[in-house]
Amino acid sequence: MTDQTSPAEALLIRRYREALGISPEIAATRLQIKLSARRWRQIEAGEETKGGKPAEASPSQLAHMATVVGIEPDQLRELGHDEAAEIQEVIKARLAAEPTSTDPLAGLPADPGERVAELARRQRVLATELERVAGKPPEATDEDRRQERTR
The angle subtended at Cα 70 by Cα 64 and Cα 72, nearest 5°, is 80
Domain boundaries, the chain: 1-98, 103-151
Q: pLDDT at position 1, please?
A: 47
Contact predicate 69/17, CB 8 Å: yes
| Residue 101: other Cβ atoms inside 10 A | 9
Q: Please report, in tens digits, the pLDDT of each residue of the chain (151 residues total).
A: 445 568 999 999 999 999 989 999 999 998 989 999 999 999 998 887 777 788 889 999 999 999 999 999 999 999 999 999 999 999 998 888 776 666 677 777 778 888 898 888 888 888 888 888 877 665 666 666 666 676 6
> How much is the pLDDT for 138?
56
d(CA 139, CA 55): 34
Burial 14-29 (b: 16+ CB within 10 A, else e): bebbeeeebbbbbbbb
For residue 132, the one-letter residue type is R
CA–CA distance, 44 with 7 (Å, rounded to integer)? 8
